Structure 1
Amino acid sequence: MLRIGVIGPSEKEIAEFINKITEKKQIEHAMLKFYSGIYGEIEVVSVVCGVCKVNASIATQVLIDKFDVTHIILIGVAGALSSQLEVGDIVISSEVAYHDVASGILTEYHPWMEDIYFKADGKLIELSMEAASSLVATSKFYTGRIITGETFITHKEREYLVQQFNPLCVDMESASVAHTCYVNRIPFVVIRSMSDNADEKSSEQFKINAETAAQNSIKVVEGLIIKLSLSLV
């Protein structure tokens, strides 16, 4: 059985995907609306989780416990930290980490990780890259590290985060989705489009660019789901 959970932090980051689900049923859990149905020929369950780490974790756990999803994909927008990234470019996660959680918390306590990085699923990364490469668009795609914390980044913080983590981009949900998938042994991948440059203007840029930039991550997840279904035939 293949059942894909697709999460977006806000409606503007995922509504277009939800609208394409057929045989759609809406079910509420934990004050969240989950939309189950079919995309292509694959069972999917999608949700607008809300912004921030705890909201994303709640939605992820409900997808696992109540809907028995086999894979989880987080989509949406993010702030670019790498100088090579431009607005609209796509980042596919190779691994994900918190930038606002002390490293020992995850290695010395539950879930006793070897390091602070949650590794995305290799097959999902591969198929996401194939889906991204087949898009006819001016935007580019990259695979690499994503970091998560609950704040818009200032210029001074940006320099520190680049030195400390060498990430491609930053957001407010990816690490918590990855963390929840890790302890439940559920394969995951994150697909983010760049909405801003993660600096003192990021909040303003996000409001202007988020909906347009999100279209790219939606296109990639649609291609990924089709390729995942074909890979299992």
Structure 2
Amino acid sequence: MKFGIIGPSEDEIMPFIKKISNKKLESFAMLTFYSGNYKDIEVVALYSGVCKVNASIAAQILIDRFDVTHIIVTGVAGGIDSILKIGDTVISTEVAYHDVDEGILTEYHPWMESIYFSGDSYLLKLCRKVLELNIFKQQILFGKIVTGEAFISDHGRNEIINKYNPLCVDMESASIAHVCHVNNIPFLAIRSITDTPTQSGIDIFEDNCVSVSINSINILEKMLERI
């Protein structure tokens, strides 16, 4: 196995990259890829830049240039479900776009049966095993994540809830899952919450991004250690 690990920003991935041994750096499409090992697992990690196209570029290069067998995106998200608090983590059972017309995916390439990309069953099983360790302080939930280009404020939140009822929203997961789907690569998203309906806004996001990212990375690391 060879894992591609994507963080949208430096804050969301560099704490993991620092732990990679035997690092080799290569650059493609203005992105820097860090190859090496985490414990005994072969990994290639990078920060892709935020939003859908940047994340898609990173995912396809991981597949084409580095022959990764699995891709995981780690980082942060905005809480939608009121059960979530800042610092909690969502692990994707399924992801979808909230800003793409449904027919684009089902009536045209890649002719999907639904708008949802499923999280990989093996990776989800590993995560559930990790949770049995009872070492994490935050609440960890498995469920739906939706992706779009905009930072969600109060204005767009109700529409997303009514249509998708997700746990959280981000700007990259569905696009990475889309690339994995057409390449038949197992995918998973691990996203921790920077802001909620009651604590929202770009300032709240920025205040929490660094510390909250560690929650997702901790789960990622423990999952890799169980392979």
What TM-score results when the alignment is normalised by the length of structure 1?
0.95
Q: After TM superposition, which residue ranges in structure 1, 4 or more long, deviate above 2 angstroms?
A: 129-138, 198-202
Secondary structure in structure 1 of the residue aligned to 2:49: coil
Q: Does 1:71 align with 2:70?
A: yes
Aligned residue-pair number: 227
CA distance in 2, matches of 1:167, 1:133: 24
Q: Aligned residue for 1:220?
A: 219
Q: Does the CA contact (< 8 Å) of 2:82 and 2:197 recur in 1?
A: no
> What stretches of structure 1 of length at least 5 have no aligned partner?
229-233
- Structure 1 residues 46, 7: closer, same or farther in 2, change over 3 A? same
CA distance in 2 between partners of 1:100 and 1:12 (Å): 26
Residues 74 and 198 of structure 1: CA distance in aligned 2, closer, same or farther (over 3 Å): farther
The separation in 2 between residues aligned to 1:77 and 1:42, in whole angstroms, is 24
Give the SS at the match of 1:69: coil
1:44 corresponds to which letter in structure 2?
Answer: V
- State the partner residue of 1:181: 180
2:147 corresponds to which residue?
148
Q: Name the stretch that deviates more: 130-139 or 160-169.
A: 130-139
Shift of 1:22: 0.1
Tell me the residue number matched to 2:57: 58
Alignment of 1:102-113 (within 5 A): 102-113=101-112
With normalisation by structure 2, the TM-score equals 0.97
Classify the secondary structure of the residue corresponding to 1:59.
helix
The residue number in structure 2 matching 1:45 is 44
| Of 131-140 and 5-14, the range deviating more from structure 2 | 131-140
CA positional deviation for 1:201: 3.1
Distance 1:214 1:133, change over 3 A: farther
- Per-residue CA deviation, residues 28-51 of structure 1 (Å, 9 max, x unaligned), is 011100000010101100010000
Q: Distance in 1 between matches of 2:131 and 2:216?
A: 9
Residue correspondence of structure 1 range 1-233 to structure 2 within 5 A? 2-134=1-133, 136-197=135-196, 201-228=200-227
CA distance in 1: counterparts of 2:47 and 2:130, whole angstroms: 23
CA positional deviation for 1:136:
2.4
In the alignment, the residues of structure 1 paired with residue 118 and residue 98 of structure 2 have an alpha-carbon distance, to the nearest angstrom, of 15
CA deviation vs aligned residue, 1:134-165 (integer Å, no higher than 9, x gap): 25233110000000001111213111111110
Q: Distance in 2 between matches of 1:10 and 1:135?
A: 28
Segments of 5+ residues of structure 2 without an aligned counterpart are: none
Distance 1:210 1:223 in 2: 21
Q: Post-superposition shift, 1:175?
A: 0.4
* Two-structure CA RMSD over aligned residues (Å): 1.2
AA aligned opposite 2:208: N
SS at match of 1:156: helix
SS of the equivalent of 2:115 reads: coil
Q: Deviations over 1:49-106 (max 9, x none)?
A: 0000000000000000000000000000000000100001010000000000000000
Amino acid at match of 2:74: I
Whether contact under 8 Å (1:76, 1:191) holds in the other structure is: yes
CA change 1:113–1:72 in 2 (3 A) is same
